[in-house]
Amino acid sequence: MKRIFYILTLMGLLCTACLTDKKTELERLPVVPVEIAGDLESMMPGRLLVSENYILWTDPFHSDKYIHILNKETGEEIGQMLSVGNGPDELITPNASVYPDDKIVAFDFNANKRFSLSIDSALQQTNYILQKQTGNYKTTTSMIALAENEYISLVPSEKEPFLYLNEGTGDSYSFGSFPVEEAVNNSSGVFQGSLAWSPTKNCLVYSIFRFPYMAVYKRNMDKFEIAHTYMPNTDYQIVEGDFRYNNSEGGIQELAITSEYILTIQRDRKFDQTDDQTVGRDFNKLPHTVFLYNYELQLVKIIDLGMPLLRLAADPLSNTVYAIGINPDFVLVKFEI
């Protein structure tokens, strides 16, 4: 009996040691990023995007073109594309994301139009609109392309938040779930957020603007199944069907992915207790830190870039990260992780 007890005790200690070895240790690292473009002329840059060969930033307030194309190595602006307006080749309220082969999908919140665009054609000053589609996008708040003719949209007003569409095969279906099980009347507002696609992990990543929440959906054949969630703060209420969250810790405004990490701009509460509800348009109050999560949504690193950060983007096939910060004007920087 004593022998059995000894063996069981030893096995327990070994298992505990294994679990301890596997525990992820959080690293905090100061990083001095490399500035590659200074003084971006904008009231407020919209999105920061990275394709295979270019960096792009969007300007919803620009009087001419919406998308600015930059050299990936030097940061030099080498072209512009997509006018904002009511014309047949224009979008009123565009939202853009990149997909393979230096292409862009852009849809309009208010005009029920979607364009597929070629960056290379824009630089060659030829017709860069590859395809035009019409559809009801008024309830769509975000859209990404997984590949040509294959899209996922975020539609937070519906019972299932995501819509998959493959225009090549004609497949279309809704999937996914919200952070709370209760029915929410104001879901179209409070569950808006960002989408990102990892071609290396075959995963969809979803984050929410209004409060801290992320989810990873793993693609299995042609279906998406939720694999991991992150919701550190459950300090919310549902009052008469409305979701209410009033907390100094805001949601995730910026989401990016690399080959190994999911990246967000978040405030390191150990050192920065700024109430996110007081930030508004005071860019100097923005977080200085980039959080790195693994694809199980475990936080493994916090990188301090030493400047307020507004936008974030990354190459999903490498570990190069780009950001727009304030130093003291809008600057484009990059760093390696």
Lowest mean pLDDT among 16-20, 128-132, 169-173: 16-20
- Predicted pLDDT of residue 221: 86
Look at residue 11 and tell me if it is in a domain: no
Dihedral angle, C-alpha 133, 68, 188, 252, nearest 10 °: 140
pLDDT at 63: 65
Any domain includes 71: yes
Tell me which of 12-21, 27-36, 180-189, 245-254 is least confident.
12-21
| For residue 208, pLDDT beyond 70 | yes
pLDDT confidence tier of residue 264, bands split at 50, 70 and 90: very high
Question: Residue 5 domain-assigned?
Answer: no
pLDDT the model gives residue 324: 97
Is 136 strand, coil or helix?
Answer: coil
> Over 80: is that where the pLDDT of 189 sits?
yes
Give domain status of residue 21, yes or no.
no
Mean pLDDT of the region 56-64: 84
Please give the residue that has the higher pLDDT: either 221 or 287.
287
In a domain, 77, yes or no: yes
Residue 5 has a pLDDT of: 35
Point out the least confidently predicted range of 61-65, 134-138, 180-184: 61-65
d(CA 143, CA 95): 8
Count other Cβ atoms within 10 Å, centred on residue 260.
Answer: 15
Per-residue pLDDT, 222:
82
258 found inside a domain: yes
Q: Is the pLDDT of residue 42 over 90?
A: no
**Tokens describing residue 216:** 């990873």
- Token pair recorded at residue 279: 């930030």
- Residue 97 CB neighbours (<10 A): 19
What pLDDT is stored for residue 48 in this prediction?
96
How many independent structural domains does the chain possess? 1
Distance CA 134, CA 255 (A): 28
240 pLDDT higher than 80: yes
- The CATH number of residue 121's host domain is 2.120.10.30
Tokens 């009996």 belong to: 1
Decide if 286 contacts 309 (C-beta within 8 A): yes
pLDDT, tens digit, 9 for 90 and up, residues 83-138? 998 899 999 889 999 998 999 999 998 888 999 999 999 999 999 999 999 888 88
Query: Could you identify the residue written with the tokens 């179209």?
Result: 188
What is the average pLDDT score of the chain? 89
Among 15-19, 231-235, 271-275, the least confident range: 15-19
Domain containing 232 equals 26-336
Any idea what DSSP says for residue 319? S
Distance CA 90, CA 207 (A): 29
What is the rounded average pLDDT of the residues 36-61?
A: 90
pTM of the model: 0.89
User: In the prediction, which pLDDT does 248 show?
Assistant: 87
Q: What is the mean pLDDT of residues 202-226?
A: 95
Whether the bond between 179 and the residue before it is cis, its omega within 30 degrees of 0, is no
Q: How far is CA 33 from the centre of its chain?
A: 20
Task: For residue 294, tell me if it sits in a domain.
Answer: yes
Say whether pLDDT at 21 is over 80: no
Of 96, 74, 73, the residue nearest 195 (C-alpha): 96
CB 166 within 8 A of CB 150: yes
What average pLDDT does the segment 301-315 reach?
96
- At 24, the pLDDT band (50, 70, 90 cuts) reads low
CA dist 90 and 113 (Å) reads 9
Tell whether the model's pLDDT for residue 2 goes beyond 50: no
